[in-house]
């Protein structure tokens, strides 16, 4: 009897999403007779941005059995402790904060952080800035790598920065050389449908017919299968998230003697700019709302921010922000930018790619390679998008930045009432002095962003009563000695190497 896994998978698109999907599917099922074919058009090319990750990328490489020493140097990759936000709040003492990836060592300090933020929310003068409570903030501030030595029993959780083109090429080599993925170059012009509406084959410009049992749409913002053939509705998030454009410009790192271990997200007049440190350069991009600033002014502001004058070439991109209604439709799965995109503030796109493919693998196997679990899969993926979206929206909703003259961007974000019920509940709990950790657990949203992330965001912008309403803590408040926590973190950090030095082991 044929193994039900012995399916022919066809992937349309050879960007990061396509090659990640190819690796995961071939790794899982090639031993059971599955074939994976990937077709891409070099002429169309890839988007070539997306250079920061969450810890999901580490799990991805671990799953494929690829060591850091194999892929990191090949992709100019660096370690990422998290993201620091600058200029999103004008409240003194809260001009910047760091968003850490949650890790087991947080158990030593998180409860104190939650306690202090709640006390400050109710007007007590206690230190509640997230940077004082978590090890990754200190590792990032001191440019250390999140790699624990053998004698230190707590592994930080971390992501990476990398060159998007090089990661795609690395995965393409791995998929074709080690996992038996067939690679075809060509431009798909037509899609052949079966009587039941399934996709039967992709037809290229030279009339080649690529048939399969299951198809993955990894064709980027073009969404050739989902937008075109399957006509799956796209649900925009433009009411919640205003940014729809980006201008991108790599630069040489200003100070070659230093290698940051964090992404920097700095607010500008109609959006924010990322600074992603690679071993060879910095990746920079201004993500903005075209309703508030035009492309020329955005490029000018980015150049000014980077201090590069007229030198270097900038690339302009439009972003389609939202998601397809169903990521799995008929015998096809949308992955990557064809599936949806939340703006890159929390660098979640590749995270969603990996999570979607892994969940698909689980659902397809559980249903004996039939669409039995398609509806629940689609509901889960939709909830994931919305859970992540809410966290990103919250950054804008609680911002405390002044608008530049003539640009009503930050105030408009603060005034935006298009908030989901879950986000309203989070904010109500925060503003009324409620137990936010319990509320996040009640809402079931902690799997998208943890209680530490939510508390860090809200506390990090100084979302507390005005200074005039803050009073000294009374006897009912337990005083957590923040200098004691600082000493604990300082001693932990002594175990970690300087970032550049940690990467030199790959030389
Ligand atoms: C401004 C910006 C910043 C971002 N930052 C981050 C970040 O920090 N972290 C993160 O995780 N993600 C980020 N992303 C998202 C990230 O770039 C993408 O998720 C990732 O690159 C995957 O893209 P993709 O493979 O879906 O699409 P693409 O890279 O666009 O690939 C599409 C593929 O489809 C092929 N194709 C299209 N049409 C046809 C056709 N008719 N025939 C044959 N082939 C075809 C193309 O040739 C290409 O190979 C960012 C995105 C943007 C826009």
Q: Residue 16: in which H helix or E strand, if any?
A: helix 16-29
Query: 339 lies in a domain?
Result: yes
Q: What percent of the chain clears pLDDT 90, i.e. is strictly above it?
A: 95
Angle at 177 between CA 174 and CA 181, to 5 degrees: 85
Indicate if ligand 1 lies below 6 Å from the C-beta of 15.
yes
Each residue of 92-118: pLDDT tens digit? Answer: 999 999 999 988 999 999 999 999 999
CA-derived radius of gyration, the chain? 23
Residue where a domain stops, chosen among 361, 387, 413: 387
Q: Is 55 a residue whose pLDDT tops 90?
A: yes
pLDDT digits (tens, 9 = 90+) for 165-187: 999 999 999 999 999 999 999 99
Q: Are residues 230 and 361 in the same domain?
A: yes
pLDDT band of residue 46 (cuts 50, 70, 90) is very high
Burial class (CB in 10 A: 0-12, 13-18, 19+), 484: exposed
Is pLDDT at 256 greater than 90 in this prediction?
A: no
pLDDT at 405: 93
Q: Would 399 be classed as within a structural domain?
A: no
Pair (339, 452) in one structural domain: no
pLDDT band at 445 (very low <50, low <70, confident <90, very high): very high
Residue 254 has pLDDT above 80, yes or no: no
Give me the catalytic one of 80, 112, 264, 397.
Answer: 80
Q: To which H or E segment does residue 446 belong?
A: none
Residues 373 and 469 in one domain: no
Using the mean position of ligand 1's atoms as its centre, give its distance from the Cα of residue 53 in Å. Answer: 14
d(CA 150, CA 495): 10
- pLDDT value, residue 262: 98
CATH number (domain holding residue 274)? 3.30.9.100
For residues 188 and 66, state if they share a domain: yes
**Closest residue CA from atom 51 of ligand 1:** 50
Q: Is residue 504 part of a domain?
A: no
Distances (CA, A) of 264 to 234, 302, 332, 405, 480: 31, 14, 37, 25, 29
pLDDT tier at 2, thresholds 50, 70, 90: confident
The rounded distance, in Å, linking the Cα atoms of 262 and 264 is: 6
The domain boundary, picked from 318, 353, 375, lies at 318
Greatest alpha-carbon span in the chain: 80
96's tokens: 């910047």
Determine if ligand 1 sits within 6 Å of the CB of residue 184: no
Residues 475, 338: one domain? no
229 and 326 share one domain? yes
How many residues appear in the chain?
507
Output the pLDDT for position 432.
Answer: 97
Q: Is residue 342 part of a domain?
A: yes
> Rounded mean pLDDT of 440-462?
98
Instruction: Identify whether 264 is a catalytic site residue.
Output: no
Residue nearest to atom 35 of ligand 1 (CA): 13
Determine the angle formed by the axes of helices 110-121 and 436-443, rounding to 10 degrees: 110
Residue 1 has pLDDT above 80, yes or no: no
Q: What is the Å distance from ligand 1's center to 16 Cα?
A: 6
**Could you give the number of structural domains in the chain?**
3
Which atom of ligand 1 is nearest to 51's Cα?
A: 8
Shared-domain flag, residues 311 and 333: no
Does one domain contain both 259 and 311?
Answer: yes
CA 46 to centroid of ligand 1, rounded, Å: 6
Sheet with 245-248, edge to edge strand ranges: 96-100, 82-86, 263-268, 271-277, 282-288, 245-248, 315-318
* Host domain of residue 266: 245-318
């Amino acid at each position: 009897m044929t193994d039900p896994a012995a399916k022919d998978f066809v992937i349309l698109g050879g960007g990061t999403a396509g090659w990640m999907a190819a690796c995961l599917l071939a790794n899982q099922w090639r031993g059971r007779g599955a074939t994976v074919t990937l077709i891409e058009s070099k002429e169309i090319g890839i988007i070539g941005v997306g250079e920061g990750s969450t810890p999901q990328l580490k799990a991805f490489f671990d799953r494929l059995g690829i060591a850091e020493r194999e892929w990191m140097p090949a992709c100019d990759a660096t370690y990422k402790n998290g993201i620091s936000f600058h200029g999103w709040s004008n409240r003194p003492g809260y001009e910047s904060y760091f968003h850490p990836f949650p890790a087991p060592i947080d158990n030593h300090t998180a409860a104190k952080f939650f306690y202090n933020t709640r006390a400050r929310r109710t007007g007590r003068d206690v230190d509640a800035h997230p940077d004082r409570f978590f090890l990754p903030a200190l590792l990032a501030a001191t440019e250390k790598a999140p790699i624990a030595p053998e004698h230190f029993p707590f592994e930080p959780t971390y992501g990476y920065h990398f060159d998007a083109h090089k990661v795609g090429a690395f995965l393409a080599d791995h998929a074709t050389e080690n996992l038996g993925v067939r690679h075809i170059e060509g431009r798909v012009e037509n899609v052949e449908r079966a009587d039941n509406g399934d996709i039967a084959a992709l037809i290229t410009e030279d009339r080649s017919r690529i048939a399969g049992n299951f198809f993955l749409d990894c064709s980027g913002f073009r969404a050739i299968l989902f937008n075109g053939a399957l006509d799956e509705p796209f649900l925009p998030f433009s009411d919640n998230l205003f940014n729809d454009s980006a201008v991108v410009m790599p630069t040489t790192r200003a100070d070659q003697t230093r290698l940051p271990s964090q992404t920097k997200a700095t607010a500008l007049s109609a959006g924010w700019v990322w600074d992603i440190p690679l071993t060879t350069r910095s990746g920079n991009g201004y993500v903005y709302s075209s309703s508030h600033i035009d492309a020329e002014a955005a490029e000018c502001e980015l150049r000014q921010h980077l201090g590069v004058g007229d030198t270097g070439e900038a690339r302009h991109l439009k972003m389609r922000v939202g998601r397809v209604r169903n990521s799995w439709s008929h015998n096809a799965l949308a992955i990557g930018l064809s599936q949806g995109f939340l703006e890159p503030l929390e660098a979640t796109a590749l995270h969603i790619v990996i999570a979607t493919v892994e969940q698909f693998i689980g659902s397809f196997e559980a249903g004996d390679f039939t669409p039995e679990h398609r509806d629940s899969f689609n509901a889960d993926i939709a909830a994931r998008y919305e859970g992540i979206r809410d966290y990103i929206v919250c950054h804008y909703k609680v911002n405390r930045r002044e608008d530049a003259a003539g640009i009503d961007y930050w105030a408009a974000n603060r005034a935006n009432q298009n908030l989901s019920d879950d986000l309203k509940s989070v904010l109500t709990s925060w503003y009324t002095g409620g137990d936010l950790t319990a509320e996040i657990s009640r809402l079931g949203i902690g799997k998208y962003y943890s209680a530490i992330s939510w508390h860090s965001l809200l506390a990090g912008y100084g979302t507390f009563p005005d200074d005039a309403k803050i009073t000294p803590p009374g006897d009912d408040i337990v005083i957590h000695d923040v200098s004691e926590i600082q000493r604990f973190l300082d001693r932990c950090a002594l175990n970690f190497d300087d970032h550049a030095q940690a990467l030199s082991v790959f030389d």
